[in-house]
Chain A
Amino acid sequence: MDLNALATCLTSASCLVTQSTSGLIIGLLLFLVAAGLTLIFGVLNVVNFTHGSFYMIGAYLAFTVYNLTGSYTLAVLGAALGVALFSIFFERFFMSRVYGSNVLMQLLVCYAFILILDDAVKIIWGPEFKSMGMPDYFRQPPVFIAGGVIPVFYLFLMGMTLLIGAALYAVIGYTRFGKVVRAAAVNPSMVSALGINTGLVYAAVFALGGMLAGLAGALAVPVRSLVSGMGFSILIESFIVTVIGGMGSIGGALAGSILIGLVRAFGSIGFPLFVEGLMFLLMAIILVIKPSGLFGKEA
């Protein structure tokens, strides 16, 4: 524990800016993953434990596409598309078979996929840590705000995630597809009776959720290293985020993600060894005060 360092940081503008930025980066990347998780849960009432693996696949796909083509734009698009396709495959052939059965079966299918995908990544890309490095056009002098250092890529990352978040909000809130999805979350049999193929809607929701995770993976590649099993810690953090924000609420996911990001960034100064513990503590406190989460409906 190092409370002095934390106090020094909180009183210095430069440290405040630097840590807030890195907290926002962690939080916004987490938001993309958690938003997909909470969307799938909200509509299908299924907890996708493989969501972290989707993030991992996105990261590795982006890594490969970037190395092949040298274009980061293509890498991000390729990762999003690839993971969306994989999500549809996963939903149609595996998850859709266990929708009706108990949670245990869903857990088990997801557990199997986590094991398989982690091993598949080891076979395809090798077991060692990989890192892609920063794409050339982001290699520019960082921006200084009040003495705090902000790399250009961080600004890009923030802009992209906010853009994706806004697009998600618009799609769910204002398009016909969004209306169908929201209706299917409330009453799937009525939606089906109105002549809409709910199976297709479910597959599309999985694809959308998977795409968000894939995008997060691709956007994280320049700043994180890749390793088989990297999906699990982000899965756990997404759980914490969704539980804090309220399951099924995308707004809650945003609030929860940023909260967790800031806790991580400032916690790593004050309590370097207990950052994980801080997140769980935060979650436990919120659950005790409001079991359905900050933005969740009463169960």
Chain B
Amino acid sequence: MPADTMTSAIAPAMTAPVPAAAPRPTVARDIGLAIGAIVLLILLRLVWPSPALTDFGIRVAALAIFATSLNLLVGYTGMVSFGHGMFFGFGAYCFGLIMQRLAVPLPIAFVVTIFATALLALVIGAICIRLKDIYFSFITLAFQMLIYSLIIAWVPLTGGDQGLQGGIPRPPFLGINLGNAFHLYVFAVVMLVVCLLVMRHIVESSFGYTLRMIRDNADRATFLGINVFRVRLMAFVLAGVFAAIGGMVMALFVSGAYPEFSNWTMSGEGIFMIMMGGLSTFIGPTAGAIVLALLNDLVTRRTEHHGLALGIVILVFALGLKKGITDFIADWWRARREAAIEQKARETAA
């Protein structure tokens, strides 16, 4: 694990940028929360077994994994990628193609896709990370469009603009049959929670704090002996891999893959989910995913002018509220806690 090897080199630096922050949550607490969340979500489905809820849950899981992975780059490392959708799309296509053509067990296709995405992200990242700030956004967008145009042009392999046709076979493994809606729901929920748990662990590790330091002051990180390029590249690859997992969940859900998965709108939705959910909390992008999915359902049910409605909502958020949903909750929570501390201080003084 790269994070472990870096700990010793970074440890002295760690204490400086985050003095007396909130106590770092323990892994045990996070695992407890994760298990609780899985049980709760499965119970929800058992109590309320509607197909609409099942679909909604699976879609949100895929989007939330994708959005949280993008937040690893945007929120934690300060790398505004505008082409993150390419890994979502690549994951979906790679997984779908392996399942269609090679007839291997599902977990193997899953793992192979993860490695293939890591390799792709390593190559693309090594080129993109040479550029800073807005240039980085540009070139990630350009690579995404390159992958998109490859998907459109390579018709014999990808089916072109019709998408991957014929359905993705979902042979049962270990007693899990993903053709069954309930099994797929449980699978998606477990995937979501496990991915969130792992990403949570990453951002709370010393590696995660190195990412924050690079975001806040890359020069300082360099002076402290950190290989900024390597750490950024690592973040890029990790984020790409998680995005691909989101793509695979989506591919399993729709039993196919479409060029839109890798189009710029996917990346735009990713940024939208992060901003709407809130940049300052870990769970923000997940909240954003829920809001986006709800919004999509509501809007498509009422009007065909999907872009118009979504655009206006985005404008209200970006220009009016300027903060995400969980940012408001976090602010409220902090204000409450500070008020409580003040109260206590006043009581002791009296």
A residues whose Cβ falls under 8 Å from a Cβ of B: 41, 47, 94, 97-98, 101-105, 107-109, 111-116, 118-120, 122-123, 232, 236, 239-240, 243, 247, 273-274, 276-277, 280, 283-284, 287-288, 291, 299
Contacts and interface: CB of A to CB of B under 8 A. Distances in A.
B305 A119 contact: yes
B142 to A, nearest CB: 5
Given A112-B318, A288-B127, A291-B130, A280 B306 contact: no
Contacts of B149: 276-277
Given A119-B306, A247-B135, A111 B142 contact: no
Given A104-B271, A243-B139, 20 more contacts: A47-B138, A102-B80, A103-B80, A104-B279, A107-B80, A108-B317, A109-B319, A111-B271, A112-B311, A123-B308, A232-B264, A236-B141, A239-B138, A243-B138, A276-B153, A277-B150, A280-B142, A284-B127, A284-B139, A291-B130
Interface in B48-82: 74, 80, 82
A33 to B, nearest CB: 15
Nearest to B155: A273
Contacts of A94: 315, 319
A103 to B, nearest CB: 5
Contacts of A111: 268, 271-272, 311, 314
Contact of A119 (B80, B130, B311): B311
A168 B347 CA distance: 70
Interface in B122-151: 127, 130-135, 137-139, 141-143, 145-146, 149-150
A29 B308 CA distance: 28
Nearest to B306: A119
Contact of B146 (A104, A116, A232, A280): A280
Contacts of A277: 146, 149-150, 153
B74 to A, nearest CB: 7
Contacts of B153: 273-274, 276-277
B203 interface: no
B213 interface: no
B310 interface: yes
Nearest to A285: B127
Nearest to A272: B153
Contacts of B137: 47, 103, 107
Interface of B: 74, 80, 82, 127, 130-135, 137-139, 141-143, 145-146, 149-150, 153-154, 264, 268, 271-272, 274-275, 279, 305-308, 310-312, 314-315, 317-319, 322
A109 B318 CA distance: 7
Nearest to A47: B134
Given A103-B80, A274-B153, A287 B127 contact: yes
Contact of B131 (A98, A123, A276, A287): A287
A25 to B, nearest CB: 21
A68 to B, nearest CB: 25
- Do most interface residues of chain B lie in helix, strand or loop, or is the interface mixed? helix
20 contacts: A104-B74, A104-B274, A105-B275, A107-B137, A111-B314, A112-B314, A115-B310, A116-B308, A116-B311, A118-B307, A119-B306, A119-B311, A123-B305, A239-B141, A239-B142, A273-B154, A274-B153, A276-B145, A287-B131, A299-B132
Given A276-B145, A291-B130, A98 B318 contact: yes
A122 B146 CA distance: 27
A105 B264 CA distance: 17
Q: Which 7 A-B pairs have the closest CB atoms?
A: A115-B307, A116-B311, A115-B311, A112-B314, A119-B308, A276-B149, A119-B307
Contacts of B272: 108, 111
Contacts of A112: 310-312, 314-315, 318
A291 B145 CA distance: 20
B79 to A, nearest CB: 11
Given A112-B315, A239-B141, A284-B127, A276 B132 contact: no
Contacts of B319: 94, 97-98, 109
A291 B135 contact: yes
Contact of B142 (A105, A115, A123, A283): A283
Contacts of A299: 132, 135
Nearest to A292: B135
B90 to A, nearest CB: 15
A57 to B, nearest CB: 15
Contacts of A103: 80, 133-134, 137
Contacts of B130: 287-288, 291
Contacts of B317: 108
Contacts of A280: 142-143, 145-146
Given A247-B135, A277-B150, A107 B271 contact: yes
Given A119-B311, A232-B264, A108 B318 contact: yes
Contacts of B311: 111-116, 119
A250 B157 CA distance: 41
Contacts of A115: 307-308, 310-311, 314
Contacts of A239: 138, 141-142
B80, B275, B311 — most chain A CB neighbours (10 Å): B311
Contacts of A113: 311, 315
A86 B138 CA distance: 25
Contacts of B307: 115-116, 118-119
Given A115-B307, A119-B308, A276-B146, A108 B271 contact: yes
Contact of B315 (A104, A109, A120, A243): A109
A5 B264 CA distance: 33
B145 A236 contact: yes
Contacts of A273: 153-154
